[in-house]
């Protein structure tokens, strides 16, 4: 199966395929770098599946840039960016902040905002990671 070069990547799979082709790598090389199977890379590149958040840190490292469009001017955006860069599920981030994963979900959607004390705790977490 031949997959074309994505001049303007849209999906995460497109970004991976473009970088792989730019570097003249095989899917097995990328799979090794990302610690996944070759079939997984194929499925990402053909948009049959998407990586789980725990794969994001190695993907970002491989790409050399953050491929997600997130508005980091908002608390919701900064929270999601932190979670993605650290490969955390909403559940794991919830455990870190000692809140329920549904709370993280609602914060990321902008449905709710944390109380000032929790906001400060979360923001400190973001700053530590930079």
| Mean pLDDT of the region 14-33 | 97
Residue 63: pLDDT band by 50, 70, 90 thresholds? very high
The mean pLDDT value of the chain amounts to: 94
Q: Is 51 left (phi over 0), alpha (psi -120 to 50) or beta?
A: beta
Q: Nearest-CA neighbor of 54 among 79, 30, 34, 32?
A: 34
Task: Read off the pLDDT of residues 82-115 as tens digits, 9 standing for 90 and up.
Answer: 999 999 999 999 999 999 999 999 999 999 999 9
The predicted model scores a pTM of 0.88
Question: Do residues 108 and 80 make contact, with C-beta atoms less than 8 angstroms apart?
Answer: yes
Report how far apart, in Å, the C-alpha atoms of 85 and of each of 20, 58, 115 are.
Answer: 21, 9, 24
Q: How far apart are CA 28 and CA 70, in angstroms?
A: 30
């Amino acid at each position: 199966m031949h997959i074309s070069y994505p001049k303007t990547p849209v999906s995460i799979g497109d970004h991976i395929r473009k970088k792989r082709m730019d570097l003249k790598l095989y899917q097995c090389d990328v799979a090794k770098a990302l610690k996944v199977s070759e079939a997984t890379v194929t499925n990402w590149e053909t948009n049959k599946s998407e990586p789980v958040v725990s794969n994001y840190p190695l993907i970002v490292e491989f790409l050399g840039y953050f491929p997600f469009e997130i508005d980091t001017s908002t608390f919701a955006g900064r929270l999601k960016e932190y979670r993605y860069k650290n490969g955390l599920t909403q559940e794991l981030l919830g455990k870190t902040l000692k809140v329920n994963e549904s709370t993280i979900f609602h914060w990321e959607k902008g449905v709710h905002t944390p109380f000032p004390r929790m906001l400060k705790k979360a923001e400190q977490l973001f700053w530590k990671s930079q």
